[in-house]
Amino acid sequence: MEGERFFLRLLLDHVKGSESFEQLQTVNGIVYPTFRQVAEKLGLMENDASIRDCLHEASNSKMPSSLRRLFVTFLVYCKQTGVRSLWDEFYHYMAEDYFYSTSTNPDPVHDSILYDINCMLKQLGKSVNDFDLPKINMQMDGNTEVARAIHDELSTLVLSEDVHYGPGGTGKTYLYQAILATVKLRGKFRLPVASSGFAATLLYRGKTAHKTLGIPVTLRASSTWKFSKQDVEGKLVQYAAVIIWDEATMTHQHTYEVIDHNLRYLTGVDVPFGGKVIVFGGDFRQILPVVPKGTKAQTIDACLIGDGCEPTVNEDMIKLPASICVGNGDQISVDNLIDQIFPNLTEHVGDVSYMVKRAIITPTNDKVDMLIEKILKEFVGEEKIYYSCDSVLEDHQNLYQQEFLNSLSFGGLPPHILRLKVGSLIMLLRNIDTSSGLCNGTWLICCQLRDHVIEAKILTESYKGTRLFIPRIP
């Protein structure tokens, strides 16, 4: 409501060192007439133009499949207007790989792009019909969709390392992959799922159990199956010869009771889990089901298996073994800690095998910011700064000033000021698309830092090497 005075205040809070209004209104050598335009150019304001600029930057990278996924991310997570105009403007960029591989007839290409986008949207609980997008001309009944989904699964390659004995140190994940590969080689359909998004990425083509098996997020005694027997998802479960469920120990036992009931209904077979072969895996010494404000007894009672006995040390305080400690707080500096964890860092910037094996864990965000500032100085190249757009919904009286919101720093949210360089490691803090490996905990390395989008590459597990775009998401 304050107009230009608000945007001037916003700039004064972020732009350091300006000695005149002209300097304050200059970005990359261009003087902008209003403070609002400067704030938008610096990424301090969120609008539909920034989404269009982001898509323009991404289209220059000539990665149409990644551009389609970025488009889907905007549809699902960003409240933008003018979806049809965005489609019309960027359709040809999203279809470049189809134009090169098909005939000049545009109709099949048009439908294929929409179908591809629709498949991504369905993974996120949406469809093209939920947005102002063209309709898909080609008709696909439920059986055709099931056949296509099964074909996509069965046509994937089996990795050679999954069908041979693994080296020393391999454990549950290797066993899962060996079972999945064996089932696939026998021409059977398999469903690898996990209780968390990050655990799902450790399995080849893994997905979350909640999404795949139709488990309600909020579980009640009356909870029922989210799919019908005619749904594509329900039919895929029917076709599955084996279901691998990793990190099963994280899931409340009531969930398994619901799944047991639903699988009996789906298959029409009144035996445990409808006669389906299900492999449960996990480690009871790690993460157990979360029971809000629950006692130890209630937590153990919620487990799939448990006897309530566990060792304690000094009234639940655990002493870390000396083998994983570097001195104590008074005898070691932060610089020495960095040298211990990242020896000769300057020589290994961009070395993926070096970077993914090292991490410093700290309980507070202020320590994280301090460590990042020190470590980032060892990287060559220019530093890129990204800002968040913080606001409070329905705050019509402007009770929460933006600089106060920017100052908040707590677990689960990124910092207001994000400093990066090419070669920096980043970790996602939210699930974007678990079926593509984009979930809470995924490690990536920065390849290009643009004004509105980060081009990055996944570093770990089944999706290692995949290049994608990460925009700013509210």
Q: Which of 255, 282, 302 is where one domain is finished? A: 302
Q: How confident is the model at residue 127 (pLDDT cuts 50, 70, 90)?
A: confident
Mean predicted confidence (pLDDT) in 226-250:
80
pLDDT score, position 328: 54
In sequence order, the 6+-apart residues with CB closer than 8 A to the CB of 44 are 10, 11, 14, 387, 389
pLDDT score recorded for residue 101: 54
Domain assignment of residue 384, yes or no: yes
Q: Are residues 362 and 449 located together in one domain of the fold?
A: yes
Is 325 part of a structural domain of the chain? no
**Domains identified in the chain, total number:** 3
Residue 311 belongs to a domain: no
Mean pLDDT of 38-47: 76
Q: Is residue 319 part of a domain?
A: no
Domain boundary among 116, 148, 180: 148
Q: Cβ(412)–Cβ(422) under 8 Å? A: no
Residue ending a domain, among 125, 148, 171, is 148
Higher pLDDT, 331 or 214: 214
**Residue 420: band (very low, low, confident or very high) from pLDDT cuts 50, 70, 90:** very high
Alpha-carbon distance of 180 to 242, in angstroms, equals 8
**Each residue's pLDDT tens digit, 203-226:** 777 888 887 877 777 766 566 666
Average model confidence (pLDDT) for the chain?
A: 79
Q: Are residues 15 and 32 in the same domain?
A: yes
Average pLDDT over residues 438-454: 88
Identify the pLDDT of residue 226.
64
Residue 319 has pLDDT above 70, yes or no: no
Q: Which amino acid is it at 372?
A: I
pLDDT tens digit sequence for 337-391: 888 888 988 888 878 888 888 888 887 777 888 888 888 888 888 889 888 877 7
Q: Are residues 201 and 283 in the same domain?
A: yes
> Which pLDDT score is estimated for 167?
46
Which pLDDT band holds residue 139 (cuts at 50, 70, 90)? low
Note whether 269 and 371 are same-domain residues.
no
Locate 17 and state its tokens. Answer: 């060192």
User: Residue 310's pLDDT is what?
Assistant: 47
d(CA 333, CA 374): 12
Same domain flag for 135 and 179: no
- pTM for the model stands at 0.61
Whether residues 37 and 142 fall in one domain? yes
The share of the chain scoring above pLDDT 90, in percent, equals 8
CB 379 within 8 A of CB 423: yes
Q: What is the distance between the alpha carbons of residues 472 and 49, in angstroms, rounded to a whole number?
A: 13
The answer to whether residue 318 sits within a structural domain is no
The model's pLDDT over 19-29, given as tens digits with 9 standing for 90+, comes to 899 889 998 88
Q: Is 373 part of any domain?
A: yes
Residues 464 and 343 in one domain: yes
For residue 306, what pLDDT is reported? 47
Reported as a pLDDT band with limits 50, 70 and 90, residue 449 is: very high
Domain range enclosing 143 = 4-148
> For 90-94, 180-184, 302-306, which range has the lowest pLDDT when averaged over its residues?
302-306
- What is the predicted pLDDT for the residue at 168? 42
Query: Which residue from 412, 410, 405, 374 is spatially nearest to 388, judged by alpha carbons?
Result: 405
The answer to whether residues 168 and 128 belong to one domain is no
Question: Which one of 290-294, 434-438, 441-445 scores highest in mean pLDDT?
Answer: 441-445
CB burial of 155-170 (b: ≥16 within 10 Å; e: otherwise) equals eeeeeeebeeeeeeee
| Same structural domain, 440 and 463 | yes
